[in-house]
Amino acid sequence: MKKLGVLVFAIALMHSFNALAQYEANNWYFGNGAGISFSSGKAIAIKNGNLYTNEGCASISDNNGNLLFYTDGITVWDREHSPMLNGSGLNGGASSTQSALIVPEPGNLSVYYIFTVGEDAGYNGLSYTKVDMGTEDENSSDQFRNNKHFLAPDLKINKGKGKVTLKNERLLSQATEKLTAIKQSNGTDYWVISHKWNSNAYYVYPLTSHGIGKPVITRIGLFHGKTTGNKNSESIGYLKSSSDGKRLASAICYRMNNGIELFDFDNETGVLANAIKIPAEGYAYGLSFSPDNSKLYVSFLKGVNGIVQYNITDLESKTEEELANSGIGITANSEDYSFGALQSGPDGKIYVARVGSFLDVIENPNAEGAGCKYILNAIDLGNRYSTYGLPNIVTSSYEISIGNDTAVCNGPLELRAPTYADASYMWSTGETTQSINVTESGTYRVQIFNSLTQRLEIGIIGVSIVPPITVDLGPDISNCDKTYVLSAGIKGAKYLWSTGEITSEITVGKSGNYSVKVDKGGCVDKDDINLVLAGKTTVFTPLRDSVAYKGFNNTTFYYSVTDVVNYRLQIFNKGGKLKYESNDVTLNWTATTPKGREIKKGEYKWVVTYNSKCANNEEIRKEGILTLMEAKSGVTH
């Protein structure tokens, strides 16, 4: 019975930015003494670095964008550009594609892991080293002091410049030069991902506050192993993740014409699935997803094009040939072995390592083809030199919180960025206002440049627009059964019944009125129902001996359950003569004959018979005496 309907619209929900924005990727050191800083909101060359390497490297800054340390996978330099205490001799390689990756320890702001992979799938393999930037307990146990990897702690670690406390712990004996990390679905922990050499196995290690767990191993895709020559050249090439953590891309550099693969990644389990190859001419090397994850950019050491853009929207429905045909050359490869790494910056642009004293930039990587605006020699590195590498960065380092993912009933939902003086805003919808109204489910991204602090802030939020719901328990019911199941009829919601139960269905055993309130994503509706559980047929009749007044119009004989058949009401006078008869229970008897004449006062016998389906069609008979009297003054009939 539809009586009470409540529909709640959640409109103009506000989300503010976390006061502590993350700027861990503000400072990059790479190549031969080269570097850039994003502290001003745009990339500016810096020339104070001491890192000299051919390929892989990594840098990390604190939450305020201040440099902490950087590494080529062999040596760790502190914020003053001096080798960190115990920071040499790591297991990376100067010519390893992704020699190093820095990942913060979940739940600890002062401890970092440096993961390293050696070059050419050598026996340095995949290892990790720990750096402590904070303080340690001077009462650390002898068990740790005597560990060959552990340095006796200081109260203040190297005046805040940190030191390596654990070094070269081996995880995988032989690995390719691929190394990346993805934040887990819980928003706190990480997956650290590499590939075993001479196999098709991806090793995915969980990193939590308890340390590094056992790897999730997925055997999928192309075999990475030695095929020709003396060098393990097929270990070369990048492994990158999409910013939403749902896809991985892999480049096997010297697998000519068949060296690019895409995978789905389960951020909850660490399992890879649905491998798909992208046939391409040349030696694929660098990789980067566009910020909206609709495009994949690939750089080639050798081939017709230096960089190719692939459209990876609706990936599930595309064949390998269609993916290959979606490739658009962004810039020609005028000189072999001149294009290197591709790396997304905190400003949403993709930076391109070129052998020389400049970096190229893809200004608008979400746009298709020439619309992405490739800029040659965009960043002048001064008298410093770029090689093939750029810092290997965990994508989530760029993100700050703009609130939890939100569901709203029927929309629209207002998303509002914080108010800054002279700030500029850019939403993924293309709007440049401080707030936007969204009417469709999706992931929304905003970039804010705060001119006061010269900081670029990036936030992402998922929005689900939930359609209104309608709860219908149906019409009021009379039923022979002793119990009855009531269902709210809407899956995946929150329920509250008048009985206090919170499941989608309840079983009731008593007659009465029942109601349920359903909430699905902020959409709320309510319904109630009147339920009669007979257990046996109930027919209401007067008391066996009753008094009534002529002209009364109340219902004297009726039934409440629809299982009654062959119903008959008979009225006899004192002499046994039939005065009234009816098979229609919807009629009220008002002391008249079937022709409408009034019946005289006196005693009358009534007889009701019927068959009950609830009692196996047994005939039931009821009878009694009804005395009719003249109505008296002041009597209400």
Domain boundaries, the chain: 19-137+153-397, 406-466, 477-532, 538-629
Q: For residues 118-137, give the mean pLDDT.
A: 87
In the three-class reduction of DSSP (H, G, I as helix; E, B as strand; rest coil), residue 232 is classed as coil
Q: For residues 191-205, give the mean pLDDT.
A: 97
pLDDT over threshold 50, residue 182: yes
What's the pLDDT tens digit per position in 514-533? Answer: 999 999 888 999 999 988 77
Q: In what order do the strands lie in the sheet with 44-45?
A: 27-30, 34-37, 44-45
623 vs 217, more confident? 217
Cis-peptide, bond into residue 412, ω within 30° of zero = yes
Contact 91, 168 (CB under 8 A): yes
- What per-residue confidence (pLDDT) applies to 544? 47
> Dihedral of CA 605/606/611/615: which sign?
negative
Q: What confidence category does residue 395 fall into, taking pLDDT thresholds of 50, 70 and 90?
A: confident
pLDDT over threshold 90, residue 237: yes
321 vs 227, more confident? 321
Among the residue ranges 145-159, 345-359, 503-517, the one predicted with the least confidence is 145-159
Q: For residues 534-556, give the mean pLDDT.
A: 51
What's the pLDDT tens digit per position in 471-519? Answer: 999 998 877 777 889 999 888 899 999 999 999 999 998 888 999 999 9
194 vs 62, more confident? 194
Q: What confidence category does residue 397 fall into, taking pLDDT thresholds of 50, 70 and 90?
A: very low
- What per-residue confidence (pLDDT) applies to 146? 36
Let me know how long the chain is: 637
pTM equals: 0.63
At residue 119, φ and ψ (nearest 5 deg) are: -90, 155
Q: Taking the CB of residue 338, how many other CB atoms lie within 10 A of it? A: 16
Question: CA 289 to CA 241: how far, in whole Å?
Answer: 7
Architecture of domain 406-466: Sandwich (2.60)
What's the pLDDT tens digit per position in 570-602? Answer: 889 888 898 888 887 666 666 777 777 777 788
Tell me the average pLDDT of the chain: 83
540 vs 606, more confident? 606
In the three-class reduction of DSSP (H, G, I as helix; E, B as strand; rest coil), residue 356 is classed as strand
Which residue from 177, 172, 226 is spatially nearest to 203, judged by alpha carbons? 172
pLDDT over threshold 90, residue 392: yes
Contact 251, 303 (CB under 8 A): no
Among the residue ranges 253-257, 287-291, 491-495, the one predicted with the least confidence is 253-257
Is residue 264 packed enough to be buried (19+ CB in 10 Å), middle (13-18) or exposed (0-12)? middle
Question: CA 387 to CA 31: how far, in whole Å?
Answer: 5
Q: What confidence category does residue 311 fall into, taking pLDDT thresholds of 50, 70 and 90?
A: very high
19-137+153-397 adopts what CATH topology?
Methylamine Dehydrogenase; Chain H (2.130.10)
Among the residue ranges 133-147, 238-252, 275-289, the one predicted with the least confidence is 133-147
- What per-residue confidence (pLDDT) applies to 632? 53
Q: How far apart are the first and last CA of the chain?
A: 31
Q: What is the DSSP letter of 392?
A: -
Contacts of 210-216 spanning 24+ positions with Cβ under 8 A: 212/113, 212/128, 212/171, 215/171, 216/191, 216/269, 216/270, 216/271
Q: What confidence category does residue 239 fall into, taking pLDDT thresholds of 50, 70 and 90?
A: very high
Q: What confidence category does residue 229 fall into, taking pLDDT thresholds of 50, 70 and 90?
A: low
Q: For residues 344-357, give the mean pLDDT.
A: 92
Beta strand ranges found along 355-472 (DSSP E) = 358-362, 374-380, 399-401, 406-409, 413-416, 424-427, 435-438, 442-450, 455-466
In the three-class reduction of DSSP (H, G, I as helix; E, B as strand; rest coil), residue 497 is classed as strand
What's the pLDDT tens digit per position in 75-107? Answer: 999 999 999 999 999 999 999 999 999 999 998
CATH of 538-629, one of 2.60.40, 3.30.450, 3.40.50, 2.50.20: 2.60.40
Domains 477-532 and 538-629 share a fold: yes
Q: For residues 438-464, give the mean pLDDT.
A: 75
pLDDT over threshold 80, residue 631: no
Question: CA 231 to CA 247: how far, in whole Å?
Answer: 30
Q: What confidence category does residue 9 fall into, taking pLDDT thresholds of 50, 70 and 90?
A: very low
Q: Could you tell me which CATH number the domain at 477-532 has?
A: 2.60.40
5 vs 30, more confident? 30
Among the residue ranges 10-19, 376-385, 411-420, 605-614, the one predicted with the least confidence is 10-19
Q: What confidence category does residue 399 fall into, taking pLDDT thresholds of 50, 70 and 90?
A: low
Question: CA 408 to CA 467: how far, in whole Å?
Answer: 9
Q: For residues 39-67, give the mean pLDDT.
A: 93
- What per-residue confidence (pLDDT) applies to 206? 98
Which residue from 117, 36, 60 is spatially nearest to 397, judged by alpha carbons? 60
Question: CA 553 to CA 550: how far, in whole Å?
Answer: 9
- What per-residue confidence (pLDDT) applies to 533? 77
pLDDT over threshold 80, residue 367: yes
- What per-residue confidence (pLDDT) applies to 568? 87
65 vs 548, more confident? 65
Question: CA 528 to CA 474: how far, in whole Å?
Answer: 9
288 vs 155, more confident? 288
pLDDT over threshold 80, residue 215: yes
330 vs 579, more confident? 330
pLDDT over threshold 80, residue 210: yes
- What per-residue confidence (pLDDT) applies to 55? 97
Give the amino acid at 6. Answer: V
> Dihedral of CA 378/355/455/437: which sign?
positive
